[in-house]
């Protein structure tokens, strides 16, 4: 289904939803004034973030109004009405073979896991409190099904996890996931209810500890969509996502808060960072080591980086105003520059010569200007007049092949969302 249709369906189902109050709208998902607009902004923001990443217009896209990981295809759940994450991942799948979803909210990312439970095109990894806790799913033994077997990863945790233990589980698990799965895009749900002092949460992370996850994932230099999520001690949510925005930008910001309209909320210390509490960490080394070992055993079952069949790319969720393809003469060759603007992740879909140096899984291919070296090389060669006419034609042909590949490449539709 095209995204435009999806939005239509979304709009219709939202109206239906607001009018007829389906399952679970009520207690934790009340209908409120402006609900429709809220869902539009939240879901639209994440989808637009994916479009920007797909077009290589940014390396990191952020939507703090997104990350509503509990919403199901036809059920609102846990303060989540529309699963913006699933919509955003579907958008990324138009250009990316494998998308990695990581969830550091204290709650299990059940809606996203469910949507992609039977596919290997999305791997979901959730670190969450498990045991008599909402939503009740996310057992260590839930690993995906069918083609998606071993592509769902769950790290169940107990109360009171601190920065040190979290880092000791997060980094090795994610390193192994990256190595085995080799995603070409990453979605990170940064739910802030895993922070110390959250009104609903029971972990003991500081903002620095939470943001270490962002820092680590950022270090892989893959197209990254950062989303919000839970967080119920509001002043700490604002602190956390402010700091994580700075981490995304690789910028230092002072601990002293600048004066602002909400300054009084941040008393008595008026600082950016928070201290952990003295609560007991019930996640013993022995416990986390055991879980880690079990997850590694599952990850070893994965084939390295599964491939995907080639299919037509569905339309982008947001139309690109800069290119009017209808106005172009299809029989006319396009310039290398114009061909370069047509983004098709070439790394694993094409056997043509214009793959970047260093093999097919060069993650740098997704970065801006990744194709430039080849173009620059061509330019240099022609400047040096080493290229004869035949060769030049070949180059042009390969650039028009490249242009064509946009319409022939990839994506296997995922039925969920």
Q: Is 193 among the residues that bind Zn ion (CB under 5 A)?
A: yes
Residues 27, 8: Cα–Cα separation, whole Å: 27
Nearer Cβ to Zn ion (44/228): 228
Q: Least CB distance from residue 121 to Zn ion, whole Å?
A: 25
Distance in angstroms (rounded) separating the CA atoms of residues 354 and 269: 57
Tell whether residue 107 is a contact of Zn ion (CB under 5 A): yes
Q: Is 70 considered catalytic here?
A: yes
Neighbours of 32 (CB within 10 A): 7
Please tell me whether 78 is known to bind a ligand: yes
Stretch that binds Zn ion, among 22-30, 149-157, 183-191, 369-377 (CB under 5 A): 183-191
Q: Which one, 3 or 64, has the nearer CB to Zn ion?
A: 64
Point out the catalytic residue in the list 69, 70, 108, 366.
Answer: 70
21: left (phi over 0), alpha (psi -120 to 50) or beta: left
Binding mask 335-374 toward Zn ion (x if CB under 5 A, else -) reads ----------------------------------------
Our finding on whether 105 is near Zn ion (CB under 5 A) is yes
- Please, are residues 79 and 202 in contact by the beta-carbon 8 Å criterion? no
User: For Zn ion, which residue of 66, 156, 197, 230 counts as binding (CB under 5 A)?
Assistant: 230
Contact 192, 214 (CB under 8 A): no
Least separation in angstroms between residue 79's CB and Zn ion is 8
Size of the site for Zn ion (CB under 5 A): 5
Q: Is 44 annotated as a binding-site member?
A: no
| Nearest to Zn ion of 88, 180 (CB atom) | 88
Return the number of the residue (45 or 230) whose C-beta is nearest Zn ion.
230
> Residue 109 interacts with Zn ion (CB under 5 A)?
no
Pick the stretch among 42-50, 107-115, 158-166, 171-179 that binds Zn ion (CB under 5 A). Answer: 107-115
Vertex 216 angle, CA 303 and 305, to 5°: 15
Q: Give the residue numbers annotated as catalytic, written as ranges.
A: 70
Please enumerate, by residue number, every residue annotated as part of a binding site. Answer: 28, 78, 105, 107, 193, 232
Q: Which residues bind Zn ion (CB under 5 A)?
A: 105, 107, 191, 193, 230
Binding-site members for substrate are 28, 78, 232
Binding residues for a divalent metal cation: 105, 107, 193
């Amino acid at each position: 289904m095209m995204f435009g249709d999806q939005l239509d369906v979304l709009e219709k189902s939202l109206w239906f939803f607001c009018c007829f109050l389906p399952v679970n709208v009520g207690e934790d998902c009340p209908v409120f004034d402006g609900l429709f607009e809220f869902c539009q902004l939240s879901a639209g923001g994440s989808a637009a973030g994916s479009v920007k990443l797909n077009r290589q217009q940014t390396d990191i896209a952020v939507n703090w109004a997104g990350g509503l990981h509990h919403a199901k295809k036809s059920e609102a759940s846990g303060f989540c009405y529309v699963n913006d994450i699933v919509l955003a991942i579907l958008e990324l799948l138009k250009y990316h073979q494998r998308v990695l979803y990581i969830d550091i909210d204290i709650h299990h990312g059940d809606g996203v896991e469910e949507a992609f439970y039977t596919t290997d095109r999305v791997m979901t990894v959730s670190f969450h409190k498990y045991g008599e806790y909402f939503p009740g799913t996310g057992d260590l033994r839930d690993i995906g099904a069918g083609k998606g077997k071993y592509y769902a990863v769950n790290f169940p945790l107990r109360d009171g996890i601190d920065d040190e233990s979290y880092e000791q589980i997060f980094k090795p698990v994610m390193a192994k996931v990256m190595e085995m799965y080799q995603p070409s895009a990453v979605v990170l749900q940064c739910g802030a209810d895993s922070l110390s002092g959250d009104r609903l949460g029971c972990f003991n992370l500081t903002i620095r500890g939470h943001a270490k996850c962002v820092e680590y994932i950022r270090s892989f230099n893959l197209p990254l969509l950062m989303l919000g999520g839970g967080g119920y001690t509001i002043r700490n949510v604002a602190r956390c996502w402010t700091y994580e925005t700075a981490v995304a930008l690789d910028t230092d910001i002072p601990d002293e808060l600048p004066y602002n309209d909400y300054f009084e909320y941040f008393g008595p210390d008026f600082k950016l960072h928070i201290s952990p509490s003295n609560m007991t960490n019930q996640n013993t080394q022995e416990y986390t080591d055991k879980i880690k070992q079990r997850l590694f055993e599952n990850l070893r079952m994965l084939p390295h980086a599964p491939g995907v069949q080639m299919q037509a790319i569905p339309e982008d969720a947001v139309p690109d105003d800069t290119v009017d393809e209808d106005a172009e003469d299809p029989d006319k060759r396009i310039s290398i520059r114009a061909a370069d603007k047509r983004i098709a992740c070439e790394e694993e879909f094409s056997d043509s010569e214009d793959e970047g140096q260093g093999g097919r899984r060069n993650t740098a291919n997704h970065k801006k200007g990744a194709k430039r070296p080849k173009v620059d090389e061509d330019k240099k060669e022609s400047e040096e007049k080493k290229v004869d006419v035949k060769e030049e034609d070949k180059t042009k042909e390969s650039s028009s092949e490249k242009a064509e590949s946009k319409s022939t490449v990839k994506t296997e539709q995922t039925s969920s969302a």
